[in-house]
């Protein structure tokens, strides 16, 4: 049955390619590796649903994409073994979907080393943006430091003189604080690293209270963020918080509750970003899945649309042409304007958002722009 379906798709594609002059990709096979079990499964569900929604919305073009979906269990060794399987047994052309930097560091070199394209729908560690960049690797999301840099820029512009900054003690956390400091011109009164997986923040909140800071920058993704925000709200400390969008994304807001309302955060996308592609996306997502999409879903949606736009021009079997078609980024991004820099990482605007309640549900609204046409700090080190 699957065989017959594929033949059908192939012949449909062939018919289309007769109609349109340039060579159209005759069905592309995508390996979608994401986290579908354990504590990170919520983000994985957003990635999967965002990607699939884009294919559904694309109609016939979307049907030319065959998706092989696998759960990485949030374990790097499992992820790289799945990637090997998808490349060696399933013969996929393109891989995508990894959420976590440590998994990306395992999978991306394995994929590009075996001549496959990798389109990152989320993680974009600095090692892959600078000297480790690769012609077959595109980040469709951001570079890991971007949202933190924007928070730094926003705090400077707002004239905050004293900041308390904190992040978990692992590479993404260290990059986060480095990114913040890159654009923050005031004084950092304290820089605190928490333990990965930490759930009680009483000691840090005491330090914040005693620090004399005017505002607090915190990067605490997932469950750590939920715990920190709840405890901060209870603590009686009223120093305002700023975070990157991950700490206040729609996948965790319902669990934080009203304590999150009014907190500022920085993101390259928001549910209320005013453009037709985004309206269609947010409405479609809410209609299909009954929740607000998070930035993870938005990035996966863009990744699928970027892929479709490249497929309309070239086939992955011609890597040079396909790469050029990807690099052109001619698709309707939910972020409005979107382009790639020389290291194939995005150049995009980053906004300041504020958590609000809309139609009884928590989400973010845009209140300003933190950075315009921001690329990243590592592009110069990239030689391709």
Partner 1 sequence: MLLAEQVLNGLQYGMMLFLMAAGLTLVFGVMGLINLAHGSLYMIGAFACATVAAWTGSFWLGLAASLAAAAAAGALVEMAVIRRLYPRDHLDQVLATFALILVFSEGTRWIFGDFPLYLKLPPALSGAVTLPGGLQYPLFRLVIIAVGAAVALGLWLLITRTRLGIRIRAGEADREMIGALGVDIARLYTIVFALGAALAGLAGALVGSIQSVQVGMGEPVLILAFVVIVIGGIGSIKGALVGALLVGMTDTLGKAVIPGLFARFMEASDANTSGSAVASMLIYILMAAVLLVRPQGLFGARA
Partner 2 sequence: MNRDLIVNLVIFALLVAVALGAHVAGQGFTVTLATKAAILGLAGVGLNLALGYGGLVSFGHAAFFGIGGYVTGIFASHAANGDPILTLPFTLMGSNEMLGIWPMAMLAAALAALLIGALSLRTSGVYFIMVTLAFAQMIYYFAISWPRYGGEDGLSFYVRNSFPGLNTFDPIQYFAICAGLLALALLFTAVVTQSRFGLALQATRQNEQRSTAVGIRATPVRLTAFVLSAMITALAGALYADLNRFVSPSMFSWHMSGEIMVFVILGGVGRLCGPVAGAAVFILLEHLLGPVSDHWQALLGLMLLAIVLFAPGGLIGLTLKALRRTEHG
What residues make contact with partner 1 under the rule CB under 8 A? 37-39, 41-42, 44-45, 169, 174, 191-195, 197, 199-200, 202-204, 206-207, 209-210, 222-224, 226-227, 230-231, 234-237, 251-252, 254-257, 259
CB-count exposure of residue 152 (10 Å: 0-12, 13-18, 19+):
buried
Per CB under 8 A, 365 contacts partner 2: no
Per CB under 8 A, 106 contacts partner 2: yes
Per CB under 8 A, 145 contacts partner 2: no
Reading the block at residue 271, the tokens are: 């549910």
Per CB under 8 A, 80 contacts partner 2: yes
Q: Which of 169/381 has CB closer to partner 1?
A: 169
Least CB distance from residue 100 to partner 1, whole Å?
14
- Are 343 and 129 a contacting pair, CB within 8 Å? yes
Q: What is the DSSP letter of 195?
A: P
Closest alpha carbon to 17 in 313, 306, 221: 313
Residue 231 interacts, among partner 2, partner 1, none and using kind-specific CB cut-offs from 5 to 8 Å, with partner 1
Q: What is the DSSP letter of 141?
A: S
Distance between CA atoms of residues 312 and 306, nearest Å: 10
Tell me which of 32, 52, 127, 226 binds partner 2, using CB under 8 A: 127
Reading the block at residue 39, the tokens are: 């504590």
Per CB under 8 A, 199 contacts partner 2: no
Q: Is 243 left (phi over 0), alpha (psi -120 to 50) or beta?
A: beta
Tell me which of 28, 52, 105, 163 binds partner 2, using CB under 8 A: 105
Helix 101-113 and helix 171-183, axial crossing angle in degrees, nearest 10 = 100
- Counting every residue written for the chain, the total comes to 384
Strand partners, 369: 351
Distance between CA atoms of residues 336 and 269, nearest Å: 9
Per CB under 8 A, 171 contacts partner 2: yes
Q: Which of 178/327 has CB closer to partner 1?
A: 178
Binding mask 17-46 for partner 2 (x = CB under 8 A): -------------------xx---------
- Contact residues: partner 2, CB under 8 A: 36-37, 70-71, 75-77, 80-81, 84-85, 88-89, 101-102, 105-106, 109-110, 113, 125, 127, 169-172, 174, 193, 195-196
């Amino acid at each position: 049955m699957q065989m017959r379906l594929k033949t059908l798709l192939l012949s449909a594609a062939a018919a289309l390619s007769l109609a349109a002059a340039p060579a159209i990709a005759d069905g592309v096979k995508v390996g979608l590796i994401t986290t579908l079990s354990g504590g990170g499964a919520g983000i994985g569900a957003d990635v999967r649903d965002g990607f699939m929604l884009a294919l559904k919305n694309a109609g016939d073009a979307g049907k030319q994409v065959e998706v092989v979906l696998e759960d990485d269990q949030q374990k790097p060794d499992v992820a790289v073994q799945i990637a090997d399987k998808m490349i060696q047994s399933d013969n996929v052309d393109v891989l995508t979907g990894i959420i976590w930097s440590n998994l990306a560091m395992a999978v991306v070199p394995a994929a590009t080393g075996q001549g496959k394209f990798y389109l990152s729908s989320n993680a974009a560690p600095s090692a892959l943006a600078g000297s480790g960049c690769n012609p077959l690797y595109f980040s469709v999301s951001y570079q890991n430091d971007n949202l933190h840099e924007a928070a730094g820029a926003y705090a400077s512009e707002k004239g905050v003189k004293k900041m308390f900054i904190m992040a978990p003690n692992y590479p993404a956390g260290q990059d986060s604080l480095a990114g913040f400091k890159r654009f923050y011109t005031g004084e950092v009164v304290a820089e605190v690293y928490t333990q990965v997986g930490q759930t009680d923040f009483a000691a840090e909140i005491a330090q914040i209270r005693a620090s004399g800071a005017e505002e607090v920058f915190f990067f605490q993704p997932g469950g750590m963020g939920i715990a920190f925000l709840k405890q901060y709200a209870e603590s009686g400390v009223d120093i305002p918080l700023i975070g990157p969008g991950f700490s206040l994304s729609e996948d965790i807001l319902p669990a934080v509750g009203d304590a999150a309302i009014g907190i500022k955060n920085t993101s390259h996308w928001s549910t209320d970003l005013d453009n037709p592609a985004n309206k269609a996306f947010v409405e479609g997502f809410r209609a299909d899945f009954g929740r607000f999409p998070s930035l993870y879903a938005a990035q996966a949606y863009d990744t699928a649309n970027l892929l479709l736009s490249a497929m309309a021009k070239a086939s992955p079997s011609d890597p040079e042409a396909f790469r050029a078609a990807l690099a052109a980024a001619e698709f309707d991004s939910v972020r409005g304007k979107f382009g790639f820099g020389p290291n194939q990482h995005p150049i995009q605007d980053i906004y300041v958002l504020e958590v609000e309640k809309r139609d009884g549900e928590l989400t973010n609204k845009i209140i300003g722009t933190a950075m315009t046409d921001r690329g990243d700090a590592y592009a110069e080190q990239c030689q391709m």
